[in-house]
Amino acid sequence: MRVLCASILRPAARSGVTTYYKMLSDNFFRDSTINFVLVTGWDVLKVWKWLAGLIRRIGYLVSFGNSQRQAAAEAAKYRLLLYFAFSKYRRNSFDLVHAQDIISAVAARKYFGKKMPVILSCHFNESPVTEEMILFGHLPEKWDAVAGKYRKWFSVPDCFHFVSEYAFQKSQFLIPPQRALWIIPNGVTFGEFPEKEMVSYQIGDRPFVIINVGYLDERKNQQALLELAKDLVLLGFCHFKIILVGEGPQMNQIRLRAADLGVEQYVSFTGWAGPDKIFELLSQTDIYVHTALNDNCPYAVLEAISQGVPVLGFGVGGLPEILDSKWLFTVNDCQAIAAFILKNMQDFRVIAEAQFKKAMIRFSIDKQLEDTRTMYRDLINPAGYLSGNVSSSALSSVS
């Protein structure tokens, strides 16, 4: 089976999307039944990058501040880059295209034609329409026009893959009938439940460690951890440390807010960290608190659970698909999280093991890979073309 995986994001980009497609590439490279080729819009000669960049700049110049034209210029740039990247291959070189974004799907259909099956992986944290509205600052009255564009684009893929039920719910209003639909969550490696020291109230010299991994921005909402620090101190618990792993536009704001709340001594920043460093930090962590306002199927949460770290978070996005409701809280209710931590500190190992046992059933990398192979086989087998694992009757007409 010959699979072309396409993305507008270069592998060095720090994103759950690149984590996903690099995982597929690394694992399918060792699978003799799948010839998996990764192509991004950056796998082209410098002259084509220059040309695509020039087209984008011209598009912005003639947009006269019109945000929809600017969005069109961005899309044109990436579609052109991908077209050049695809041109290195004959049109019959592959059995299917696995696109990681809608622009890659549209570009693949344009180059390879209608006979080439195209899968779109939906990694959305919101509906794609909402994401574009926010990214380009479109006025609210432009919603229908933007939605119309995405409905046209969504008519291209033959198959839709969602990394969570939440991602499906957010984009289902764009999906036309007669498409194969699959929900295949992200997966990580689960071994034996890790043996590690768990902190109690009698902690001696080591502080209680709370960790959060992610891009430091408004959506990831790490400022909530500062409120958690304040609430823990108000409850009389001061021997703790909060570690923020990542970088992003809100780093300075988080530092300033920590100083305003008087909790800067409890908060440390590592900056960006690679997988090895993250796993090292998790081995020294007592609890992971996920503060994102919407995440589809966060790798950071799954990796924490796989390392025996108990996880708490807000009951939004795809997190309720990973954690039971007893470990989820109302958004920004940090007082409740602080109270839970102090009340249940002696039980964190039990909590961690329960989360581990539940997650390893649905979120193991082995299950993800096997389900992905099944999706591929289904798409190129005419007899099972529209099966999927989500009923088409689940599609809603509500936008």
Domain limits for position 333? 208-362
Question: Is the same domain home to 226 and 181?
Answer: no
H or E stretch covering 3: strand 2-7
CATH of the domain at 42: 3.40.50.2000
Task: Indicate whether 263 and 320 sit together in one domain.
Answer: yes
DSSP 192-218: SPPP-----S--TTSPEEEEEES--ST
Report the distance separating Cα 80 and Cα 86, nearest Å. Answer: 10
Please check whether residue 299 is in contact with residue 19, taking contact to mean a CB–CB distance below 8 angstroms: yes
Confidence category of residue 183, pLDDT binned at 50, 70, 90: very high
H or E segment and range at residue 149: helix 143-154
Asked if 157 and 246 sit in the same domain, the reply is no
Q: Computed from CA positions of residues 107, 108, 113, 117, in that sequence, does the dihedral angle turn out positive or negative? A: negative
Look at residue 198 and tell me if it is in a domain.
no
179 and 219: one domain? no
Residues 81 and 123 in one domain: yes
Q: What is the C-alpha separation between 314 and 356, in angstroms, rounded?
A: 19
d(CA 77, CA 104): 11
Full-model pTM: 0.91
The answer on pLDDT for 396 being more than 60 is no
- For residue 128, pLDDT over 50 is answered with yes
Q: pLDDT-based confidence at 394, cuts 50/70/90?
A: low
pLDDT mean over 317-326: 96
Per-residue pLDDT at 202:
45
**Is residue 48 domain-shared with residue 65, that is, in the same domain?**
yes
> Across all residues in the chain, what is the average pLDDT?
91
Above 60 in pLDDT, residue 216?
A: yes
Same domain, 21 and 31: yes
| pLDDT band, residue 201 (cuts 50/70/90) | very low
Same domain, yes or no: 160 and 257: no
Q: Is the pLDDT of residue 393 over 70?
A: no
Query: What is the pLDDT, as a whole number, of residue 383?
Result: 65
Overall domain count for the chain: 2
112 and 102 in a common domain: yes
Instruction: Note the pLDDT tens digit of each residue in 244-301.
Output: 999 999 999 999 999 999 999 999 999 999 999 999 999 999 999 999 999 999 999 9
